[in-house]
Structures are given as structure tokens and as C-alpha cells.
Amino acid sequence: MSLEYITLENLPIIALASIFAGALNAIAGGGTLISFPALIFIGIPPIYAHTTNVAAVIPGHLGALLGYKKILVEVNFSRITILIIITSISAILGSYVLINTPENTFSNLAPWLLLITTILFIISPRINKKIVNNKIGLGLQNIGLIIVSTYGGFFNGGLGIALISILSLNKKNKIHEIIAIKSVIALVVTLTSVVAFAYADFIRWEISMIMIIFTSLGGYFGARLAQNLSQNIIRSIVIFIGLTMSILLFINI
């Protein structure tokens, strides 16, 4: 295990970025917009910054899954099983593409991926408002899940928002069921991609372990602050940071 990035200069950056990312995920989502650019800033190559960040967010997905366990008990088991199979295979495909993507190519893609994540974050309130009104069928939903899960295996940012938009295509799904199913799929996609990244030795585990500690800490305080802070203010800050980081990465291409 290499400790080249664990320096006195980098450790405070990793800790603060992870705390803010954990807090933002608990309050409004969008923590990737903080943690992913921060890892690039301290010198980690973009692909490894992404894969390391993905490994660090697993506890957050697991916590969300546990939080919706009562709802998931009532969801059709066979349907969940089919979704898990579809999304895990798609995530493997996306991860394989990433592992075989040249570093320079991913560096050029990074600002675009971050921008896409920011745009998904911006439009997420509209998605949530229309979540029970769409009448598009189940088949289109499955096609959408294949696309989104493949994207999630390649780049995890904005996965939750994208999954919600796709799951809302089936009018039979209720809002709480959609969010609960989203939690299952997000965990499956993330775990699948992390296993693939770990097998290919693409994760800086020493960084991920530190991030997990501080994202958990940030998530705890973020959940408590969420009751007192304006969601609009928090969302505006996240959007500003996401757009700013995207521009900075475009400048550095």
C-alpha cells in the first residue's frame, strides 16, 4: 500500500473534502462534486481519483439501503432480482471500459463527466416533482437502467439522480419505492464497480479508508444540520462548486 499521497499538506484537504462531501450527501446530495476534484487537486490521476472516491462512498449507499429496508420488504422480490442482474452486468461493462480507458482520455472526459453530474443535480428537483406522473412503460425503464448502470460503472457521479429519473418511467412505482429501489441499485452498481477496480488494482485504498472515516463524520453532522439549513442555499453552493470545478478542469485539459 503506497502512502505517497498521505502528506501533511494533503491530509487536511482529504479530510475537509470528505467531511463536506459526507455532509452534502446527507443534506442535498452532490458530495462527489467536492471529493472527486479534491483528489485530483492533491495529484491523484483522474481515473484513480474516481475509483478511489467510488470505494469511499460505499458506506453511504449501505446506510441508505438499511434506512429503506422496511419499504424494500414490500417490493416485488422477483422484480428486484431482475433489476440487480441487469444493473450488475451493465456496471461490469462500464467498469471494464473505464479500466481500459487511457489516462489521457479520461483526463479529457473528467470535466465533461463532472459537468454532467452538476446538470443532473440541477434538474433533480424537476425529476422528483414529475416522478409519479410519467406513463412510459417498463421496457423503456429497463433499457434506461442498462444505460445508466453502464454509466455508473464508468463514472459514479450523479448515479442516484439518474436512477431516480429512470425508475420514475414506470408509473406503477410509488415515490418511496423508487427511492428505496434506487438505493439497492446504487449499492449494486457501486459494489460491482469497486470489485472490478480492486481486481485491476485501480483503487488507492489508503485514501479511501481515510475518506470513509471523514465522510461518515460529515454525514452524521450533515444529517443533524439538514433540519436547520435551507435546502436551496445548500443546493446553490453545491451547484456553484460543481460548475467552478468543471471550468477549472476544462482549463487544465
Distance CA 22, CA 28 (A): 10
How far apart are alpha carbons 95 and 226 in whole angstroms? 33
Contacts of 238 (CB under 8 A, 6+ apart): 24, 28, 29, 30, 33, 34, 121
The residue assigned the cell 462531501 is: 21
- Whether residue 4 lies inside any domain: the answer is no
**Residue 5 belongs to a domain:** no
Mean pLDDT of 59-86: 83
> C-alpha distances in angstroms, 137 versus 79, 134, 170, 175?
15, 9, 6, 16
Per-residue pLDDT tens for 26-67? 766 678 888 998 999 999 999 999 999 999 988 877 877 777
The pLDDT of residue 51: 95
In a domain, 239, yes or no: yes
Determine the residue type at 154: F
CB 23 within 8 A of CB 219: yes
Q: What is the pLDDT of residue 253?
A: 55
pLDDT of residue 44: 92
Q: How many domains does the chain have?
A: 1
pLDDT of residue 201: 94
Mean pLDDT along residues 161-182: 76
pLDDT at 17 over 80: yes
pLDDT top residue among 27 and 24: 24
Q: Where in the sequence is the domain holding 18, given as residue range(s)?
A: 13-251
pLDDT, tens digit, 9 for 90 and up, residues 96-130? 999 999 988 988 888 888 888 788 778 766 665 55
Q: Using the predicted structure, report yes or no on whether residue 195 has a pLDDT greater than 60.
A: yes
pLDDT at position 168? 73
Which grid cell sits at 165?
429519473
DSSP letter for each residue of 59-70 = HHHHHHHHHTHH
Mean pLDDT across the stretch 15-27? 84
CA distance linking residue 142 with residue 184, whole number of Å: 15
Nearest to 177 by CA among 84, 27, 81, 74: 74
Say if 6 falls within a structural domain. Answer: no
Arithmetic mean of pLDDT, 209-215: 92
Q: Are 222 and 24 in contact (CB under 8 A)?
A: yes
- Residue 105 domain-assigned? yes
196 lies in some domain: yes
Whole-number average pLDDT of the chain: 83
What does the pLDDT look like over 152-163, one tens digit per residue? 999 888 787 788
147, part of any domain: yes
pLDDT of residue 250: 84
Task: Check if the beta carbon of residue 66 is closer than 8 Å to that of residue 181.
Answer: no
Query: Which has the minimum average pLDDT: 18-27, 130-139, 240-249?
Result: 130-139
Q: What pLDDT is attached to residue 2? A: 57
Place 232 in a pLDDT band, splitting at 50, 70 and 90: confident
Q: Does residue 178 sit within a domain? A: yes
